[in-house]
Amino acid sequence: MRHPTTHFAIEPFQDGSDPPVAPSRSKLMSRVRQKNTKPETVVRQALHAAGFRYRLHRRDLPGSPDIVLPGRKAVVFVHGCFWHRHPGCKAASTPKTRAEFWARKFDANVERDRRAIDALSEKGWAVHVVWECETRAGTFFEPLLKFLSGAPAAGGAALVLTEDEESRTP
C-alpha cells in the first residue's frame, strides 16, 4: 500500500532566509565533496604522469585553486559543470524545485569564480579551468598541456578559461 504524500511549495521565510531542508536532502548534499573529487583526481594523475609537480588547494591564493604549479605561476581549477554552470553543457541543468534558491546559489558561485580568477590574474598567475565533462570525455589534457607550455615562469600571466570562453591576457 502506498502512503499518501503531502506536496507543498517551499517559500522563503519573511526575513529572506530559506526554510529548513529535509534531513534526507541534507545528508545527500553533505556527501558532495569540495576537494579530491574524481574529476580533480583524473587531472592530477594525468599531470603527474606527464612529469608535472604541483601543490593542492593553496589557501593563501584567491579561490584556493585545486592545482597550483608555483614554478610556472599557474593554477588549474577543476569545476563541476552543475555547480559552476558550464556554458552549453547539459550537466549544467537547473533543478525545477526551489528555482529562485538555485538561481541565487548558481549566480553566487559563478561570481565567486570570476572574482577568484580576476584576483589571481591581478597577482600575475595564469589561470586555466578544466570542466568535469572534459574529464569524462578525455578532452581536457591537450588544452591543459598547451596552457602549461605557454604559462610564464614568472611575471605577467596569460588567462585561459576554456575553449568555450574567450581567452584574454590581462
Diameter over CA atoms, the chain: 69
pLDDT of residue 36: 82
Cβ–Cβ < 8 Å for 159, 114: no
Q: Does residue 120 belong to any structural domain of this protein?
A: yes
Task: Provide CB contacts within 8 A for 25, sequence distance 6+.
Answer: none
| Rounded-to-integer distance, Cα 98 and Cα 124, Å | 39
Residues 68-117: pLDDT tens digits?
A: 999 999 999 999 999 999 999 999 999 998 889 999 999 999 999 999 99
Strand partners, 75: 68, 127
For residue 118, the tally of other CB atoms under 10 A from its CB is 15
Domain assignment of residue 118, yes or no: yes
Q: Residue 77: inside a domain, yes or no?
A: yes
- Tell me what the mean pLDDT of segment 64-69 comes to: 97
In a domain, 113, yes or no: yes
**Residue 29's pLDDT is what?**
55
What CATH number is given to the structural domain containing 40?
3.40.960.10
Q: How many helices (H) and strands (E) does the chain have?
A: 6, 4
Backbone φ/ψ region at 35: left (φ over 0), alpha (ψ -120 to 50), beta: beta
- The answer as to whether 84 is a domain residue is yes
Provide the pLDDT for residue 32: 61
Distance CA 143, CA 87 (A): 17
Separation between Cα atoms, residue 161 and residue 120, nearest integer Å:
13
- pTM to 2 decimal places: 0.73
Q: Answer whether residue 139 is part of any domain.
A: yes
Look at residue 162 in the predicted model and tell me its pLDDT.
43
Sheet containing 55-56: give its strands across: 55-56, 67-69, 74-79, 126-131
20, part of any domain: no
Which domain range does residue 112 map to?
33-150
Is residue 158 one of the residues assigned to a domain?
no
- The domain total for the chain is 1
Output the average pLDDT for the chain. 81
